[in-house]
Amino acid sequence: MKKYFAEFFGTFWLIFGGCGSAVLATAYPELGIGFAGVALAFGLTVLTMAYAVGHISGGHFNPAVSVGLFIDGRFNGKDLLPYIVSQVIGAIAAAGVLYLIASGKTGFDAVASGFASNGFGEHSPNGYDMMAALLIEFVLTAFFLIIMGSTDKPAPAGFAPIAIGLGLTLIHLISIPVTNTSVNPARSTGVALFQGGWAVEQLWLFWLASIAGAAVGAAIYRFVLANNDK
């Protein structure tokens, strides 16, 4: 069970740190961290937890990553569903704690604020439509799985969390204006449930695009880029 708890706590930290920075610190008067700060927060959460518990569970913290690594042949299929369940529960728990904290501010409204949820159309931070959201989530998740190649045995040992954390930071720098950045169905689900309106209605896109992108990225790495003689 340790690996499932590791995925729970790792995903909790990812959502609490990343979405927490967006909800609590993005527009703080005069000292707000902005998009760049949120992007860095997401990268740092993955980097720190990958070092902390990656040796226990592999440090997925993302259903799309688990699916991709299964397709790449580096993850046992019997663990796929328990990993995804652990990740989603961790995301919901983190969003719940964040909601309780955010509710301590007078006037807080998760529905009106969006609660760091992912969205498209009128709910995109900069008004991007559904096709733009679908495409960017698909492409960036595919590249995130290619970046996960840094965990492969021939790669330099010990540096994978840095590559993955910086990769996730870059992904957020690119796509926060488009969708608020998902590339992680658990991340999208946790906060959407507390937003409770349009975020739940649009949640399907962030599962579909991320899982499909992960599958394609993993297949590209496995069949095109990986050293199959290792």
Task: Write the CATH number for 142.
Answer: 1.20.1080.10
Structural domains in the chain (count): 1
Which pLDDT score is estimated for 230? Answer: 47
- b/e map 47-73, b = 16+ CB within 10 Å: bbbbeebbeebbbbbbbbbbbbbbbbe
Distance CA 87, CA 10 (A): 8
Which pLDDT score is estimated for 229? Answer: 54
Q: Which residues of the chain have pLDDT under 70?
A: 28-31, 228-230
Distance CA 187, CA 98 (A): 13
The one-letter amino acid at 154: P
Q: Does residue 137 belong to any structural domain of this protein?
A: yes
137 with 182: CB under 8 angstroms? Answer: yes
Q: Does residue 230 belong to any structural domain of this protein?
A: no
Host domain of residue 178: 1-225
How far lies 142's CA from each of 89, 96, 188, 216, in Å?
A: 24, 29, 17, 6
Q: Does residue 173 belong to any structural domain of this protein?
A: yes
Other C-beta atoms lying within 10 Å of the C-beta of residue 182: 29
Q: Does residue 132 belong to any structural domain of this protein?
A: yes
Q: Does residue 25 belong to any structural domain of this protein?
A: yes
Distance CA 146, CA 163 (A): 11
Q: Does residue 147 belong to any structural domain of this protein?
A: yes
Distance CA 17, CA 34 (A): 14
- b/e map 114-143, b = 16+ CB within 10 Å: bbbbbbbeebbbeebeeebbbebbbbbbbb
Distance CA 14, CA 16 (A): 6
Q: Does residue 211 belong to any structural domain of this protein?
A: yes
